[in-house]
Structure 1
């Protein structure tokens, strides 16, 4: 079985805002406000990434928080698992 990565669901996008990221889902009126500051670029999950892959230069605490956030995005349907290429 191929390893799984994560990527935006085709109906979902993120936009950079002053507080961090605004995630939106065109399948319905679903928004998610994330106070990520500039830790995560809006287009980070535009391509398939390993589930534990995060931007460089983060502290261990920031990595842990963002890994939990990725899990929440998967649970809410903003991200979906994809085979790694």
Structure 2
């Protein structure tokens, strides 16, 4: 059985800003500002990842914050789950 992975929705983009990450959705005028600072690089979302695949060197509190961000992005449709082989 294939595992579920998380990837950026094809209609969405992310870019690095001074405050952190800016997510935008070309399906409509939707933006999401994530005040992550330099905690998560924008290219982190360029690959399909599992829920436990986080940037290296994070404290347990930072890992929790990144997991919460990923959950919010999934809920709002900026990320989506897909099967990975």
Q: Deviations over 1:33-56 (max 9, x none)?
A: 000001111121111111221100
TM-score (norm 2): 0.95
Count of residue correspondences: 85
Structure 1's unaligned 5+ residue stretches are none
Runs of 4+ more than 3 Å apart: none
Per mean C-alpha deviation after superposition, the further-off stretch among 42-51 and 70-79 is: 42-51
Structure 2's unaligned 5+ residue stretches are none
Indicate whether 1:36 and 2:45 are aligned.
no
CA-atom RMSD, angstroms? 0.9
- Matches of residues 32-71 of structure 1 in structure 2 within 5 Å? 32-71=32-71
